[in-house]
Amino acid sequence: MRGRLVVGNWKMNGGLRQNDALLAELRAGWAPPPGREMVVCVPYPYLWQAQAALSGSVIGWGAQDVSQYAGGAYTGEVSAAMVAEFGCRYALVGHSERRARGETEAAVADKAAAALAAGLTPIVCVGETLAQREAGSTGAVVLGQLDAVADRLGDRIAAVVLAYEPVWAIGTGLTASPDQAQTVHRLLRERLGAAATVPLLYGGSVKPDNAAALFACQDVDGALVGGASLKADEFLAIARA
């Protein structure tokens, strides 16, 4: 069965003191119904803090990126194996905010492979821009992004989590309607074929007041949450929805 997963992406936000408060509130407030999982993806310097605050809890933690390389002379890069040493189970790869700054399909595919090789579950992000949606190419864009990773991983595609995040809905307050989300999720599910049990998350302005309608869609298995994951009450409300 496909699990239900709500993932917080803190992006480049946080600080030691705020993180302590947020992580403690999440830990105290999250009593998951069976089959539901909560994860926070924090900036690299705070992985140790998430590990310390969440170890022994039912909340998982992860990174927001990993290097496509295993190790060596790559100044500023952080390998998947390093991230795994901090008890992470997940890493985002291919977030649109990184793709927009030049991350290629090949790099995203290599990062997904690097994460799997280190024992992490990559949360592979796909999504179209507003111009692409208006040009009618949403399906071609997201399936192309999925194919680039699936071609690289082969059967191991079954071990990823996939997140559909329309770029026009990220941080804008414009959420895809449940119908828009379901349509794209169905396309992705069909393309996954034998790997159709891969959890499909929706991301883009998910809030407590729209989460339940999105989660009611047949092919939406959870959410990747940005802004609302920085507030414990909102993130908990989404996870409970």
Tokens read off for 91 = 């890493």
Catalytic residue among 37, 95, 185, 234: 95
CB of 97 or CB of 219, closer to ligand 13P: 97
Contacts of ligand 13P in 94-133 (CB under 6 A): 95
CB of 206 to ligand 13P, least distance (A): 5
CB of 148 to ligand 13P, least distance (A): 19
Contact present, 90 and 62 (Cβ < 8 Å): yes
Catalytic residue among 37, 103, 165, 234: 165
Q: Is 185 a catalytic residue?
A: no
Contact present, 80 and 114 (Cβ < 8 Å): yes
State how far the Cα of 75 lies from the Cα of 187, in Å rounded to an integer: 39
CB of 52 or CB of 130, closer to ligand 13P: 130
Q: How many residues bind ligand 13P (CB under 6 A)?
A: 14
CB of 210 to ligand 13P, least distance (A): 11
Asked if 226 is part of the footprint of ligand 13P (rule: CB under 6 A), the reply reads yes
Q: What count of residues does the chain have?
A: 241
Out of 128, 165, 219, 234, point to the residue binding ligand 13P (CB under 6 A).
165
Q: What are phi and psi of 17, to 5 degrees?
A: -70, -45
Locate all alpha helices (DSSP H) within the chain, ordered by sequence: 16-29, 47-54, 80-84, 96-99, 105-117, 130-134, 138-153, 178-192, 208-215, 232-240
Q: Is 165 a catalytic residue?
A: yes
Contacts of ligand 13P in 9-28 (CB under 6 A): 9
State how far the Cα of 54 lies from the Cα of 57, in Å rounded to an integer: 5
CB of 226 to ligand 13P, least distance (A): 2
Asked if 62 is part of the footprint of ligand 13P (rule: CB under 6 A), the reply reads no
Torsion of CA 39, 42, 47, 52, to 10 degrees: -50
Asked if 180 is part of the footprint of ligand 13P (rule: CB under 6 A), the reply reads no
Tokens read off for 22 = 């947020």
Q: Which residue is nearest to ligand 13P (CB)?
A: 226
Site of interaction with ligand 13P (CB under 6 A): 9, 95, 165, 170-171, 203-206, 224-228
